[in-house]
Amino acid sequence: MITIRSSWSRAAAVLLLVFALVIAVLLAAAWAILPVDDIGLTLNGETFSLADLHGTSAVLFFVAAVAAVIFALVAAMVALAVGLCFGALGLAIGLVATIASLTLVAAPFALVAWLVWRALRPRPAPAITGS
């Protein structure tokens, strides 16, 4: 029997794998098409060029770039979900406050209407009991 938890986690894993493959293909295409000779990174006064990457350092850089893009996408999705949840919570609190204030305003009118209804309603005739 497949539980909901395992199917959701399996779907999330497959979606993450598809994201990784698409991002890897896009990064590989960008690396092959764009001029990487002019792109460099300076760390502690030493400059590294993307054109100088070969072998394992190129693979490591490529994997790190794919992981960074996936992390950024997941962080953006989580931020969007959290923002939507807080927005919905704010709307719900505002709706409850509005209903509560309208209830306080309408309560005296409802009480008067109920009292008028009780005064004007037809009363049933008293039952006559024979003895």
Residue 118 inside a domain? The answer is no
Query: Can you give the pLDDT at residue 131?
Result: 62
Residue 109 inside a domain? The answer is no
Count of structural domains, the chain? 1
- Could you count the other beta carbons within 10 Å of the beta carbon of residue 17? 10
What number of residues does the chain have?
131
Residue 129 inside a domain? The answer is no
- State which residues form the domain around 80: 4-90
N-terminal to C-terminal alpha carbon distance within the chain? 73
Phi-psi map region of 45: left, alpha, beta (phi>0 left; psi -120 to 50 alpha): left
Q: Which helix (H) or strand (E) holds 124?
A: none
Residue 119 inside a domain? The answer is no
Reported as a single tens digit per residue, the pLDDT across 30-57 is 878 878 777 777 888 887 777 777 788 7
Residue 105 inside a domain? The answer is no
Euclidean distance between CA atoms 76 and 73, whole angstroms = 5
Residue 114 inside a domain? The answer is no
Residue 101 inside a domain? The answer is no
Reported as a single tens digit per residue, the pLDDT across 63-99 is 888 888 889 988 999 999 999 999 999 999 999 999 9
Euclidean distance between CA atoms 53 and 29, whole angstroms = 16
Alpha helices in 34-55 (DSSP H): none
State if pTM tops 0.85. Answer: no
